[in-house]
């Protein structure tokens, strides 16, 4: 089976490409990329006005299986990801039971294989049961296919344990992803500590709770000469610490979410649980610093931190509502409309942060359209205007503060190993392609 896409704007920072080109797909692989490609036996499609990128990779999602299937399961998570334009995701291990041993890593990989949709890479726990006391079986989980390690949802509070985790993971060439939060400083916190927490009478989570841990982690990464990746940074101070650490040659990378780039603590006004997320939405000064960090390369990746929850859970009293935003179906649209279209970063930089860098950090396939690589491809229509409608999400989690947003630009097709796993048939109404998409 051959397919020839003609005249698309191809954006592939791995090869320094941003040009109108053709791409030939043969079976699972990219067979050619260039000008005026021809083929006598390929199905030919003209993609004038569309953008082709290497398949997008979201290296921070919560698919909740096993244990919290009411919020999301691997199938609905993968369908939502495909619709969002993602050909691969890395799943956080704060499931029930948590993914802290090789059997559970295998279980998740096998579950994902049942559906033949996108690529799913599990992240294993750093500590047994995510309890922060004893290291988990990092080596055995690596052998079984865990691509990184994290206790996300919680930090690795004990610095000595973090140091050992960094050293141990280094032996397997794996990265530790830390959710930076000093528990003593954030205890009982609901939203950003500042004007809004004072106004609403809620306990705040100070910027220092994040920054102290970011600083600790870069110090430990330097000392142990190992790799650390800081999850969902949210403050100006975190950007400054990581920028400086990179200047000093520390092996640190980091990510930011669309919601931290676009919203501020003002969103929580009226005790809006849909804006309750951890780390919390911060101030406009923080947002500006994050945008600066995105531009100058301090921030390597954009991840959704897709955190689906049930309606019932999110409708509880503000203090009891869980933290999280269901973000995988809005991530690309928000970044295109609010960041790229505003000229903050180029499309090429976006692809770096949403495909190439995640592939590099996790040391997985993807992030490139080089001849011979797997045909993992996202096709974007940069002109489509669409409205976020949470009730139409394929994710079980309808918890988004972006409902009703009108955005310009979205993924219209998602192709994994040459097979289309998602196709938008016409604006606003989205259906799948045959067997691979039966809900």
Q: Which residues bind ligand DOR (CB under 6 A)?
A: 62, 94, 152-153, 179, 277-278, 307, 322-324
Specify the residue for token string 């940074």. Answer: 233
Considering CB under 5 A, how many residues would be counted as binding Zn ion? 2
Nearer to Zn ion, 152 or 267 (CB): 152
DSSP E strands in 189-346: the ranges are: 191-192, 204-205, 228-230, 252-256, 301-302
Nearer to ligand DOR, 70 or 222 (CB): 70
**Interaction residues for Zn ion, span 292-311 (CB under 5 A):** 305
Residue 278 interface partner, choices ligand DOR, Zn ion, none, CB cut-off 5-8 Å depending on type: ligand DOR
Nearer to ligand DOR, 9 or 179 (CB): 179
Token digits of residue 398 = 């309808």
**Active-site option among 100, 217, 305, 337:** 305
Residue 324 interface partner, choices Zn ion, ligand DOR, none, CB cut-off 5-8 Å depending on type: ligand DOR
Query: Smallest gap, in angstroms, from Cβ of residue 153 to ligand DOR?
Result: 4
Residue partners of 167: CB distance under 8 A and separation at least 6: 224, 226
Residue partners of 16: CB distance under 8 A and separation at least 6: none
Query: Smallest gap, in angstroms, from Cβ of residue 273 to ligand DOR?
Result: 11
Helices (H), 56-177: 74-84, 102-115, 138-144, 159-171
Q: What character string, x for contact with Zn ion (CB under 5 A) and - otherwise, covers 111-150? A: ----------------------------------------
Residue partners of 182: CB distance under 8 A and separation at least 6: 155, 157, 208, 209, 210, 212, 213
Nearer to Zn ion, 56 or 231 (CB): 231
3-state SS assignment for residue 391: helix
Determine the length of the chain: 439
The count of other CB atoms within 10 Å of the CB of residue 3 is 20
Nearer to Zn ion, 53 or 235 (CB): 235
CB 17 within 8 A of CB 53: no
Query: Smallest gap, in angstroms, from Cβ of residue 303 to Zn ion?
Result: 8
Q: Does residue 305 have an active-site annotation?
A: yes
**Interaction residues for Zn ion, span 152-211 (CB under 5 A):** 152
Residues engaged in binding Zn ion (CB under 5 A): 152, 305
- Give catalytic residues, as residue numbers: 305
């Amino acid at each position: 089976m051959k397919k020839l896409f003609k005249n698309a704007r191809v954006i592939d920072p791995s090869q320094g490409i941003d040009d109108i080109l053709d791409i030939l797909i043969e079976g699972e692989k990219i067979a050619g990329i260039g000008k005026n490609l021809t083929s006598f036996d390929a199905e030919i499609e003209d993609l004038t006005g569309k953008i082709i990128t290497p398949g997008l990779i979201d290296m921070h999602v919560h698919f909740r299986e096993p244990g919290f299937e009411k919020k999301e399961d691997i199938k609905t998570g993968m369908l939502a990801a495909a619709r969002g334009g993602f050909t691969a995701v890395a799943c956080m291990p704060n499931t029930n039971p948590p993914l802290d041993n090789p059997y559970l890593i295998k279980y998740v990989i096998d579950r994902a294989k049942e559906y033949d949709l996108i690529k799913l890479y599990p992240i294993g726990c750093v500590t047994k049961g995510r309890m922060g006391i004893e290291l988990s079986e990092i080596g055995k989980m690596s052998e079984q296919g865990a691509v990184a390690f994290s206790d996300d949802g919680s930090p690795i509070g004990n610095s000595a344990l973090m140091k050992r985790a960094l050293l141990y993971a280094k032996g397997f060439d794996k990265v530790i992803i830390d959710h930076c939060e000093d528990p003593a400083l954030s205890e009982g916190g609901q939203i950003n500590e500042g004007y809004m927490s004072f106004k609403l009478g809620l306990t705040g989570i100070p910027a220092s709770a994040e920054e102290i841990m970011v600083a600790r982690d870069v110090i430990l990464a330097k000392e142990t000469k190992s790799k650390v990746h800081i999850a969902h940074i949210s403050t100006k101070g975190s950007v400054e610490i990581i920028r400086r650490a990179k200047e000093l040659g520390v092996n640190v990378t980091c990510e930011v979410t669309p919601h931290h780039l676009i919203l501020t603590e003002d969103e929580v006004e009226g005790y809006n649980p849909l804006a309750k997320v951890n780390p919390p939405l911060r101030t406009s000064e923080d947002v500006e610093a994050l945008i600066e960090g995105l531009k100058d390369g301090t921030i390597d990746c954009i991840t959704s931190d897709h955190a689906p929850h049930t309606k019932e859970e999110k409708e509880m009293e503000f203090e009891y509502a869980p933290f999280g935003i269901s973000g995988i179906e809005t991530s690309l649209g928000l970044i295109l409309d609010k960041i790229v279209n505003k000229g903050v970063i180029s499309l090429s930089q976006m692809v770096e942060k949403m495909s190439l860098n995640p592939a590099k950090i996790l040391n997985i396939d993807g992030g490139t359209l080089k001849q011979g690589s797997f045909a993992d491809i996202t096709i974007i229509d940069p002109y489509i205007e669409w409205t976020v409608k949470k009730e139409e999400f394929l994710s079980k989690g309808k918890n988004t503060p972006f409902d009703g947003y009108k955005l310009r630009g979205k993924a219209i097709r998602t192709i994994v190993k040459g097979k289309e796993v998602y196709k938008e048939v016409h604006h606003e109404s989205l259906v799948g392609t045959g067997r691979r998409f039966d809900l």
